[in-house]
Chain A
């Protein structure tokens, strides 16, 4: 039995030593630490400023010069939901195109509305202006609906956005944080040196992911804490469920990072592969606007993407208080990506 006892001369299990090594190297890279924490917060702030609360922005309307312009201006001035902005003569088209005004009301009789029907705010402006002008012209409203304004915490755009940014952060840090150091180790011949020792290959690969999982808590936590403390975002689900979703997500993207880094030996190549795989998810996975906006035929593909699964699960848990069982499908998608990538990476990995 003595033959089975292992003497590591004061070192811990290789999986622990490898994971610690990865963690230390990350922590000793001040720039990497800075960006992985600050970037998601910067992004949240920017988006919160760019899209302050949704519906109560006034419609901005431009009125070109002409007889009757003054009457229209006076009629619209009475409506608090409409703001009239002066447009220099000849600059109407430009103002419309740049979004300076949402709608141009040309003072003809009856008035002419010029706007881009593809823009939601332009369509809203058209409805508001039309109602206001008809009221001013003495057209009686058939009835006046009773309005019940409801402020739902968690229904604001920023509340919806923050989980998306957490998802982006988990994806970016998982992919880059795992992929880049591997390519670097390969370029330095370090991988070859490691496989010349009795190190187990799968332990090395697993440690690259574990090293990231440990850093993940503060990384994903940063935008969440910012959202709760600064933006008043509600958290309806349990913290444990959020952590678990993040961990499974990080495992998924860590595995993908391994896979992308499994053969390449230049930073250019790994950057290209990373961009190639992340950019479609930035667009399709519903970070900034709902993924359901894409056509039905694309939905099976979109729903199978790991970032979609991660963000959907995060939104469900954070905003709707869904339990882990409720997001089991998303977790399964993430785990499948992680395990599949890990197994493929282990099989095709280039150690020299």
Chain B
């Protein structure tokens, strides 16, 4: 069963080609990562798949459905976390979650959601008073409100401290174990290696390599990796001559 299929996606903004003929398939039940540096076209790609942006060319199929014909059904079955969203500062955690939950026709109870993202003790706190990690867990809770079959996450841990990142990773692994499908973007190789069954390395709007992280690392061959165990960072450097995160 296929979670997401996209073929030859293309999208340009005036003079910038953001996505340049990009194709990949995400199977149901797997965690798939789009790994690439800033500006690679990850957000544009994921927003097209989320039905928020219209591609200039290419085909998109999500959970076997298309946005044109099954918009309402897809919205009910997907969970979305955007790269930069600030939820209302002056609503409490519980009020925010209740609002999002009200949009879905089925799903988890508020108590369950609060427990999953470990925000029970913060349920009456204003969103504006939460830490970065807590805000991000609330964003994920909003994405989980409708008990989605497929979760889209755009740079879920960017800017978080190590402990908050691990907390979020655990939360996402749990969703996976329950049979959920995840498509996430990241520019952290350790995040891709920890969470993803398969990754597509994206650069300049194209997929330049694709496969399970261990296989991609293995393609480097022994000689190149001498001082430490190989990483996806090495793969990216080998393919492009640049680093994922330009210092």
Contact = CB atoms under 8 A, between A and B. Distances in A.
Q: Answer yes or no: do A and B interact.
A: yes
Given A17-B102, A24-B90, 20 more contacts: A6-B105, A7-B105, A8-B105, A9-B108, A9-B110, A11-B101, A14-B103, A28-B126, A189-B82, A189-B86, A190-B88, A192-B82, A192-B85, A193-B82, A193-B142, A197-B103, A197-B104, A198-B75, A198-B104, A352-B52
B82 A11 contact: no
* Count class of interface residues, chain A: 20 to 34
20 contacts: A6-B106, A8-B101, A8-B102, A8-B104, A9-B104, A10-B101, A10-B110, A11-B102, A14-B102, A16-B102, A17-B98, A21-B95, A28-B90, A193-B80, A193-B85, A195-B52, A196-B51, A197-B145, A198-B146, A199-B103
A14 B103 CA distance: 6
B119 to A, nearest CB: 16
Contact of A21 (B52, B91, B109): B91
A131 B76 CA distance: 84
Given A25-B91, A192-B52, A11 B76 contact: no
A11 B90 contact: no
Interface in A8-50: 8-14, 16-18, 20-21, 24-25, 28-29
B85 A9 contact: no
B240 to A, nearest CB: 30
B132 interface: no
A25 B75 CA distance: 26
Contacts of B50: 196
Nearest to A24: B91
B107 interface: yes
* Count class of interface residues, chain B: 20 to 34
Contacts of A188: 85-87
Contacts of B106: 6-7
Interface of A: 6-14, 16-18, 20-21, 24-25, 28-29, 185, 188-190, 192-193, 195-199, 352
The 4 closest A-B pairs by CB, nearest first: A11-B102, A198-B75, A188-B86, A196-B80
Interface of B: 50-52, 72, 75-76, 78, 80, 82, 84-88, 90-91, 95, 98-110, 126, 142, 145-146
A167 B13 CA distance: 45
Nearest to B50: A196
Contacts, number: 94
A11 B85 contact: no
Contacts of B98: 10-11, 17
B217 to A, nearest CB: 34
Given A192-B52, A192-B82, A196-B82, A25 B88 contact: yes
A25 B127 CA distance: 12
A21 B100 CA distance: 11
Nearest to A7: B106
Contacts of A8: 101-102, 104-105
A24 B99 CA distance: 12
For B78, B95, B142, B146, which residue has the most chain A Cβ atoms within 10 angstroms? B95
B86 A190 contact: yes
B185 to A, nearest CB: 15
Contact of A9 (B72, B80, B91, B109): B109
Nearest to B128: A28
A188 B139 CA distance: 14
